[in-house]
Amino acid sequence: MTRVAIQTHDFDLAQEIATLRAEDPRVGAVCSFVGTVRDRNDGSAVASMELEHYPGMTEKAIEAMIDEAQRRFDILGARIVHRVGLLQPRDQIMMVAVVSAHRGQSFQACEFLMDYLKTQAPFWKKEQTPEGARWVDARVADDQALARWGIQAPNT
């Protein structure tokens, strides 16, 4: 199983976790997070969202995030699926799944990957709002989340 998938089609969380678990009989804990499209952002209604990425660069950046999680935490594996293209409210956007022998390491690694993914992964999104379309950097500035993991925010 590859650790990173960037795709337009939806994913099946149960299948993704089953595949990740099946690879190692030492797995005793699974932690996962699924992000979905909200119908509001920054005070505006959102009718749809379009996500773009730079093929090759995005996968490489996310692979490096997983490598860092494996250095920091005692995990047995991780899988990140992130969708791109046109998405509607309630659609699944992405998932992070982490497996380890014990729950603590899975929880920490999953949260680390989510913070890193949300603040550092190179995605761009265009939201359709009542005011019109707007492109925004999908990364969120969250210096506290980065500092918790000892990561310096860019441009500081």
Domain boundaries along the sequence of the chain = 4-148
Give the model's pLDDT for residue 154: 66
pTM above 0.75, yes or no: yes
Both tokens of residue 89?
């409210």
Give the model's pLDDT for residue 142: 67
Would the pLDDT of 28 be above 60? yes
Q: Per CATH, the architecture of 4-148 is what?
A: Alpha-Beta Complex (3.90)
Give the model's pLDDT for residue 48: 94
Would the pLDDT of 96 be above 80? yes
| 3-state SS assignment for residue 133 | strand
Give the model's pLDDT for residue 156: 47
Q: H helices within the chain, ranges in order?
A: 13-22, 57-72, 103-120, 143-148
Would the pLDDT of 136 be above 80? no
Mean pLDDT (whole number) for 60-83: 97
Tell me: the pLDDT tens digits for 100-125? 999 999 999 999 999 988 888 889 88
The average confidence (pLDDT) of the chain is 91
Give the model's pLDDT for residue 63: 97
Q: H helices within 121-150, ranges in order?
A: 143-148
